[in-house]
Structure 1
Amino acid sequence: MPINWFPGHMVKTRRQIKENLKLVDAVIEIRDARIVKSSANPEIEELCGNKPRLILLNKSDLSEGAITKQWIKELSKGSIRAMEANSLTGAGLKNIKPELNNLLKEKLERQKNKGLVNITIRVMVVGIPNVGKSSFINKMAQNTIAKVGDRPGVTKNKQWIKTKMGIELLDTPGILWPKFDEETALSLAFTGAIKDEIMDTEELALKLVEHLQVLYPKELMERYKLDELSPSAIENLDNIAIKRGCIMSKNTIDYNRIAAILLDELRGGKIAKISLERP
């Protein structure tokens, strides 16, 4: 399922990030805790260079806690720190200021030695579409300045947002990259970072069952009340459809309907706490 694209607004966003890096002290990169590798835009690494960066593993309430902690250990090195959070509830967000203070310790000390007080940390917020960037900004600002949507690509224009933490956020539109491999494309599609409208959701649901029967067989069986799993993903998908009553006339499977159910329940955390990628 290879996907190639690079919409014009993403070219513009790449340029914006590069131009505005000099305006900020650090970068907060938001990723999806369920797909930490696939939700990392490799261009961010290149664009940010040595700029201090805090990687926020968002939607951590939907991921497997032990694996999320492994990712935090793996990612935290040099001028990069990682932490988990839930932008909808605000869980973990109080730790952002201390983490930024540690990342910017030397710079902040220099400013204090110059007599500066009430220092505001300016941060650029980056991330691919639909990882919860707007929800994060709204929670930090305690209002709804940034428009939130459950579809990728809602945020379009640059804007600064003040917070009560002494942090000022520079919002940027979500940016994907020109080309990614099938596994990355699948992970992004599973979690909704790629619009369902451009995907074959029936094929996507089958691929999802393939992944879950390997990574989370017990949870898959429990959620859909299956007595056992077949080595065949299509058989498992059919059995799930039967259990959920996704049957059309002449006892044929309504694959479109069961695909919608599976993807919705994965994204809503109803199947289990799931981490599709390991460090």
Structure 2
Amino acid sequence: MNDEKSSFNWFPGHMNKSIKEIEQKISIVDLVMEIVDARAPFSTQNPLLRKILNTRPRLIILTKFDLSDKDITNQWTEYFKSIGNTTYIVKDKQADIYSDILKLINEMTKESQLKQKKRGIEKPQLNVLVVGIPNVGKSTVISKLSKGKTLKIGNKPGVTRGMQRIVMTNSITLIDTPGILPAKFENETVACNCAATNSIRLDVIPKERMATKLMRYIYNSYPSLIENTYKINKHVLRPIDYDDTFTIFEEIAKRNKFTILDEIADVERAIELFIQDIIKNNLGNISFEKPIEIKEISKQTIQEKDLESAIVSDLTVEW
């Protein structure tokens, strides 16, 4: 992944201080549960929270495993393990995760529970902070862990904006946070991956740039997938570059009879088709990034001023 300097502004419905609120709450938190999309686990983490969350044990829950490249997702679990995080994969939306997560919470908070018992607290009380950017499946996970208890989750913008406390057991409280995004993306790869997983609106990034970047990645990573999906005969040697993607989009346009004046291939229409196929998961089980590719991205730093301009997304589409 290249360390692009492009900046993509996010157009929020409103601004708030949720990051600061999380920072204030972290002192009472025993465990952080971070929900990420298995197709882009690094890009769908909130970079603004990395420094704050590193002060507590972290359980990373990978959702949408059923949509991802399984081999690459397994590489991600090994990566997170190598940096000291515990992971859990939600196999599919119907999976019963309650018992597994409960066991992990108790295992990961043994030290905290022991400290409370030494202070004379017979039945330790645990606070688990749940974080995740929009549409990674956070609401689905919380619904499963709340065992059907009343939860303010809906399809109206802003329903889950405020922090909420949800009882998981008599001794475990989940602190649900809004789906918070940085006000802008300094890295084009992260922005494209977030758009591909439907965590940000498509109008944040120029469609042509998003499509060419994703086409390069998918075409180079999954031999024959694009050719078989779009039934194109022209073979472009891998690895492809930026210019090659337009050749591919021209072939997709011709195959679908997308033309404009004088039988010129309507590349723009082909790009739109490709983007919609990504959003609708029509390309099958794919992932948008690998652990080996994050070194350059992880060098990026979040400025203190960006903490002041964190925004809460108004996206509500759920897995």
TM-score interval (norm. to shorter): 0.7 to 0.9
Go from structure 1 to structure 2 and tell me whether the alpha carbon gap of 1:116 and 1:165 turns closer, same or farther (over 3 Å shift): closer
Structure 1 residue ranges without an equivalent (≥5): none
**Do the aligned partners of 2:33 and 2:59 also contact (CA within 8 Å) in 1?**
yes
Query: Aligned AA for 1:139?
Result: K
1:12-31 map, 5 Å? 12-31=17-36
Determine which of 199, 211, 218 is the counterpart of 1:212: 218
Which residue among 100, 110, 115 is the counterpart of 1:105? 110
Q: 1:156 to 1:238 in 2, by over 3 A?
A: same
Q: Cα gap change, 1:56/1:262 in structure 2, threshold over 3 Å: closer, same or farther?
A: same
Question: Counterparts of 1:139 and 1:236 in 2: how far apart (Å)?
Answer: 43
Alpha carbons 1:128, 1:175 under 8 Å: kept:
yes
Residue pair 2:143, 2:151 contacting (<8 A) in 1 also: yes
The number of residue pairs the alignment matches comes to 277
- 1:261 is aligned to 273
Match of 1:185 in 2: 191
Aligned equivalents of 2:103 and 2:75: distance in 1? 21
Which of 39, 51, 67 lines up with 2:72 in the alignment? 67
Deviation at 1:171, TM superposition (A): 1.4
TM-score, with structure 1 as normaliser: 0.83
Q: 1:157 is matched with which residue?
A: 162
Retained in 2: the 8 A contact 1:57–1:82? yes
Q: CA deviation at 1:167?
A: 3.9
Q: Which residue of 2 aligns with 1:54?
A: 59
Runs of 4+ with >6 A deviation: none
TM-score, with normalisation over the residues of structure 2? 0.74
Matched, 1:222 2:234: no
> Who is 2:81 aligned against?
76
Q: Which residue of 2 aligns with 1:200?
A: 206
The amino acid that maps onto 2:72 is: I
Map Cα deviations across residues 38-62 of structure 1 (whole Å, 9 max, x no partner).
Answer: 1222221211232111111221212
What's the CA shift for 1:260?
Answer: 3.6
Cα distance between partner residues in 2 of 1:267 and 1:25: 36
Partner of 1:238: 250
1:22 CA drift (Å): 2.7
Distance in 1 (CA, whole Å) between partners of 2:269 and 2:160 is 30
Q: Is the 8 A contact 2:36 2:61 kept in 1?
A: yes
Q: 1:79 to 1:214 in 2, by over 3 A?
A: closer
Q: Which runs of 5+ in 2 are unaligned?
A: 1-5, 292-319
* Distance in 1 separating the partners of 2:266 and 2:170: 50
Summarize the alignment of residues 73-152 of structure 1 with structure 2, pairs less than 5 Å apart.
Answer: 73-76=78-81, 80-86=85-91, 88-90=93-95, 92=97, 94-111=99-116, 114=120, 116-117=122-123, 121-143=126-148, 145-148=151-154
1:221 aligned counterpart, secondary structure: helix
Aligned 8 A contact 2:97 2:145 in 1 = no
Distance 1:26 1:146, change over 3 A: same
Distance in 2 between the 1:62 and 1:2 partners? Answer: 28
Task: State, as a whole percentage, how many aligned pairs show the same letter.
Answer: 31
SS in 1 for 2:286: coil
